[in-house]
Amino acid sequence: MTHSPRSSRAGGTLGQACAVAHPNIALVKYWGKKDGGGNRPAVGSISMTLNGMATQTCVRFTGSGGDDRIRLGGAEADANTHRRVRALLDRLRRYVPDAGAAEVESVNDFPTGAGLASSASGFAALLVAAEAALGLRLSEDERSCLAREASGSAPRSLYGGFVEMSTGQSPDGSDAVARPLLPPADWPLHVVVAVIREEEKEIGSGEGMRRSFATSPYAAAWVSSHPADLVEAREAIRHHDFSRLAAVSEASCLKMHALAMSARPGLLYWRGATVEALHEIVALRRGGHEVFFTVDAGPQVKAVCTSEALAAVRERLLSIAGVRRLIVCRLGEGARLLAPEEPCAGGRDVRRKVNQ
Ligand code: DP6
């Protein structure tokens, strides 16, 4: 797609900028890509942006040649991450050909690549920081498209609260963009993340989707049954109808995992404690607590609940052998630039590292 017509250079010299973004969890899941490139999602999705976890990314353009220097969590990024980050930077450098190589330093204060949406917060923070460092002023849709080309879930982290990502109709993907549905303060839910394994998953989402669509007999049914789930979740969010949102979210989660499991070879992202946690959450709900589960492409379980249910949810999840720790979140804000005087998330001064 072309981004140039509406984007403009804000002026000023090339510089550096830092941004923070939060992961999001999908309630109606994205799984599968359209053919033809552009990382266009095969289905729309609806998510919640979380506040209890953050990616902090600082970008500096050097104005001279050479390779981009990309560090993640204090170490050189692996080849795959390096390639994906450079691809996004290259798209932005089209507007500013003299930008030169970039120095990128990114820190997550939560496990990376373990089904906790680190690519969503990571690419959202990278985009916002790099755009500012280049002095660009992109439109919201351009920002969504650039984030989506890097990672399909990343546009959702550009916004806070409940967010919908559209699959779009246009062949160039220009309408495959995210839109906010409800700001965080409007429905103060909690999300309790039960961390079951901190290690990186073996099969990333991109490969998982490719394999599911290439081999599962359920892929067509997943796509054709998806629009109804989006309508249902949108309505539930609009009316703050917890039971309705619980029903459609759990159904979408189980449907996505059924699709992944039915690939060849099958993709089983769950561990034993994942299944235990799902049973406990359903039991809590039967006992009158407002809580439901969702699981992304990893073993961690996310329990979405009301304030009244929070204490019981925490206690029950912590009682499961195999749950290592809990991360308790509320709905969070969208990605934003950090002011120069703001401290960095995760307690590390990333800015200083970029300058080294
Ligand atoms: C299971 O956004 O990580 O979390 O577009 O290949 O980067 P890429 O995939 P990614 O996939 C997320 C999949 C999911 C469901 C969701 O977040 O909607």
| pLDDT tens figures, 248-289 | 999 999 999 999 999 999 999 999 999 999 999 999 999 999
Q: Is residue 1 part of a domain?
A: no
For range 157-170, the mean pLDDT:
97
> Which contacts qualify for 40-43: CB closer than 8 Å, 24 or more apart?
40/148, 40/167, 40/168, 40/173, 40/176, 41/148, 41/152, 41/165, 41/167, 41/176, 42/167, 42/213, 42/223, 43/167, 43/222, 43/223, 43/226
- Check residue 193 and give its pLDDT: 95
Percent of the chain residues past pLDDT 90, beyond the cut:
85
Pairing of strands 24-28, 55-61: unpaired
Atom of ligand 1 nearest to the CA of 152: 5
pLDDT per residue as tens digits for the range 93-107: 999 999 999 999 999
What CATH number is attached to the domain comprising 142?
Answer: 3.30.230.10
Please list the residues that pair with 71 across neighbouring strands. Answer: 76, 105
Query: Atom 4, ligand 1: which residue's CA is nearest?
Result: 296
Pocket test residue of 29, 146, 153 for ligand 1, highest count of atoms within 8 A of CB: 153
* Calpha distance 87→267 (Å, rounded): 28
Q: Is residue 87 part of a domain?
A: yes
Ligand 1 pocket, CB under 6 A: 26, 29-31, 39, 45, 119-120, 151-153, 205-206, 296-297
Q: Is residue 259 part of a domain?
A: yes
Pocket test residue of 157, 205, 222, 269 for ligand 1, highest count of atoms within 8 A of CB: 205
Q: Is residue 2 part of a domain?
A: no
Find the 99 Cα to ligand 1 centroid distance in Å. 30
Q: Is residue 151 part of a domain?
A: yes
Q: Which residues contact 352 (CB under 8 A, 6 or more apart)?
A: none
Domains of the chain: total: 1
Atom of ligand 1 nearest to the CA of 119: 3
Atom of ligand 1 nearest to the CA of 256: 1
Tell me 158's DSSP state. Answer: G
CA distances from 75 to 19, 83, 259 (A): 19, 15, 35
For range 5-32, the mean pLDDT:
79
Q: Is residue 3 part of a domain?
A: no
Domain span including residue 194: 8-353
What's at 255, amino acid-wise? K
pTM: 0.93
pLDDT per residue as tens digits for the range 298-343: 999 999 999 999 999 999 999 999 999 999 999 999 999 998 878 6
Atom of ligand 1 nearest to the CA of 45: 18
